[in-house]
Amino acid sequence: MTSPLLETWTTPFGLAPFDRIKDDHFAPAFEEALTAHRAEIDAIATNPARPDFDNTVGALEAAGQGLDQVLSVFFTVAGADSTPAREDLQRAFSPRLAAHSAEITGNKALFARIAELWARRDDLGLTSEQARVLMLTHRGFVRAGAALTGADDARMAQIKSRLAVLGTQFTQNLLADERAWTLPLSDRDLAGLPDFLVAAARAAGKEKGADGPVITLSRSLITPFLQFSARRQLRETAWRAYVARGANGGETDNRAIAAEILALRAERAALLGYDSFATYKLETEMAGNPQAVRDLLRAVWTPARARAEADAAVLERMMHADGINGDLEPWDWQFYAARRRQAEHDLDEATLKPYLALDRMIEAAFACANRLFRLEFRALDVPLYHPDCRAWEVTRDGQHIAVFIGDYLARGSKRSGAWCSAMRSQAKWPETRSPVVINVCNFASGDPVLLSYDDARTLFHEFGHALHQMLSDVTYPSISGTSVARDFVELPSQLYEHWLEVPEVLAEFATHAETGAPMPRDMLDRLLGAATFDMGFQTVEYVASALVDLDFHDGPPPTDPMTRQTEVLAELGMPRAIAMRHATPHFAHIFAGDGYSSGYYSYMWSEVMDADAFAAFEEAGGAFDPERAGALEQFILSTGGSRDPAELYTAFRGRLPGVDALLKGRGLAA
């Protein structure tokens, strides 16, 4: 009997039939799809016809759709609704997929066809998009080691396989640590905590099977607990557990894994002739080289550290006024910063959150997309992989554009963080297909679900990625949607955050969850006026992580990453009361896979552009200026990786940006 994973789905919009897919379908479907893809690759490589674009590069673009279909479902549920069975499968699949990828890029007959096309590229009569796809394909094969031979070729395959195993292990260790730890709260411990946090803690306790409320290592619980709990000892306990993820000894400890990953990456770069992994990795990004990244981060670090040190002095005085002597500690910062924010801006999360209900913020994100791009959203009643998920059909002028899925609530089976992925990417080759896009977040449960302002920004951020996928309008799947340089991919997401700050958006959608009353105008003004509050802290914790990431990969790999992390922070003069946003043992951005390795800086590189890009709207007709919105779609959101990102940004803005708009936006300008 055919597995539902391998069928041509006749469901509404061709969605995965989640109600029929079981865990025991994955392994046999994976084997069958992998075998089929291998046969497709072999047919392309051994085609007796002279290579042309369609029979080689185009054929590669069309191959593997069955495998993509299986894996799109598997990796969606493995990340957002993990089970022991799915974790076992992930450990089994990852090295197999790495070996399969190495087998493709190591296929000498296939690479010979691609190399011949590359040599004849000026005589092939290619469209600009085809020329771009050929360039990216040839470059990708070369950077994957296709030109290596003999022992070097074999060693590259071994490295890739081992890295796949280690990345999966790193992720699963982190999830295991997050799942295992709880902090039970007595009635005494609940004193002073706002109702939304108590409700979220009770919901977490119920999910964990505890007798009462608990704090877990979900950021949506840890952050408000550190802001509101007057019990300093409990704050310290929670903070230490959060930063110790992946460094607790035993089977889930990630420190040795991180060291091995860094060593293997350096060896991989050396095999390809690069001085360091950072040099290799950044060659294809907008930054181009490690020094350009370091220059940007250092330019931001200096004013951010000065602001953070000044803020630390204020917070420490507040702590001393409470009768607590000694130094301000990391578990004190958010508690006193929240009190300072309330004193200076008359804002606190308990008062603010009822105006930021999840459903209203989803409506706000949709409404902005409607005003900017004429998109309409209609709720769908379709089977999905978890009861928390929701789905919408996205249309424009009555025409189907995409399906959007939202999975917003934290749970023990979901890895931490927030992300956007395409279960099906937009393409017109080998046939036209519309995208199926998913946003996954980790907001604390509640009835209703209430968001912090940072949560609301996260929702808009991930929806910006979703728009990049949904509005994609290219021919070939490999350049669709977010398939762009890593330091360009965050531009649409970070740019979309700006629309949350538009006063008329909050005035319409920031309504009280119980009364429906709009946020009072003076509260709205105070909220927007506090936009850069505590920005020294936020910038320092981020830039420190980015500089550690860069240091790890720019030069010989450290034998002990933890020691090197300590040295880098000391060299920077890291404020003692601020920790890295992501310490090495739980730095999944750079150790769960290669995506953000040497590339954690990319959020800030993109922020330089997003600050400048939103200024283009403000300089024109305002946040919803139709001409600017049209240019944004034409040159950024619809183009995927079909053109060079610097060329695309220049087409949108008329020039490349400088760092000034970023510093101004963060309140760090001199």
Is 317's pLDDT higher than 70?
yes
Burial 47-86 (b: 16+ CB within 10 A, else e): beeebbbebbbbbbbbbbbbbbbbbbbbebbbbbbbeeeb
Instruction: Give the whole-number percent of the chain exceeding pLDDT 70.
Output: 100
**Residue position matching structure tokens 């195993």:** 165
Q: What is the pLDDT of residue 325?
A: 95
Residue 1 has pLDDT above 60, yes or no: no
Indicate the length of the chain as a whole number.
Answer: 670
For residues 220-230, average pLDDT: 96
Q: What's the first-to-final CA gap in the chain, in angstroms? A: 68
DSSP 450: B
- The mean pLDDT of 646-661, rounded to a whole number, is 94
Confidence check: pLDDT of 670 > 80: no
483-503 pLDDT tens trace: 999 999 999 999 999 999 999
Q: How many CB atoms lie within 10 A of CB 547?
A: 23
**What is the rounded average pLDDT of the residues 324-341?**
97
Tell me the pLDDT of the chain averaged across its residues: 97
Beginning with the edge strand found earlier in the chain, give each strand of the sheet holding 399-409 in spatial order.
375-380, 390-396, 399-409, 436-443, 419-424
CATH code reported for the domain at 12-175 = 1.10.1370.40
Quick: pLDDT tens for 419-437: 999 999 999 999 999 999 9
Over residues 77-82, the mean pLDDT reads 97
Q: Is 36 helix (H, G, I), strand (E, B) or coil?
A: helix
Residue 600 phi, psi dihedral angles, 5° rounding? -65, -25
Q: What is the pLDDT of residues 265-301, one digit of tens each?
A: 999 999 999 999 999 999 999 999 999 999 999 999 9
| Catalytic-residue membership of 567 | no
Is the pTM above the cut of 0.85? Answer: yes
DSSP 8-state symbol, 511: B
Q: How far is CA 534 from the centre of its chain?
A: 23
Q: Which of 40, 129, 285, 462 is catalytic?
A: 462
Residue range 199-205: average pLDDT?
95
Other CB atoms closer than 10 Å to residue 643's CB: what's the count?
17
Instruction: Quickly state the pLDDT bin for 669 (edges 50, 70, 90).
Output: confident
Residue 5 has pLDDT above 60, yes or no: yes
Of the two residues 450 and 192, the one the predictor is more confident about is 450
Q: Check whether 661 has a pLDDT greater than 70.
A: yes
Region 613-621 average pLDDT: 95
Q: With both helix axes pointing from N to C terminus, report the angle between 219-228 and 195-208 in degrees, rounded to the nearest 10.
A: 140
Q: What is the pLDDT of residue 42?
A: 98
**pLDDT class of 191 with cuts at 50, 70, 90:** confident
Give the model's pLDDT for residue 246.
98
**390-428 pLDDT per residue, tens:** 999 999 999 999 999 999 999 999 999 999 999 999 999
**What class is the 354-529+603-665 domain?**
mainly alpha
Q: Is the pLDDT of residue 238 over 70?
A: yes
What share of the chain has pLDDT > 90, as a percent? 97
Element (H, E) at 408: strand 399-409
Q: What is the pLDDT of residue 2?
A: 78
Q: Is the pLDDT of residue 192 over 90?
A: no
Q: Label residue 243 by pLDDT band (50, 70, 90).
A: very high
Please tell me the distance from the alpha carbon of residue 274 to that of residue 293, in angstroms, as a whole number. Answer: 17
pLDDT band, very low/low/confident/very high, at 616 (cuts 50, 70, 90): very high
Number of other residues whose CB lies within 10 A of the CB of residue 89: 19
pLDDT over 80 (residue 467): yes
Q: Can you spell out the DSSP letters for 414-436?
A: S-SS-EEEEEE--B-SSS-B--E
User: Which residues belong to CATH 1.10.1370.40 in the chain?
Assistant: 12-175, 354-529+603-665
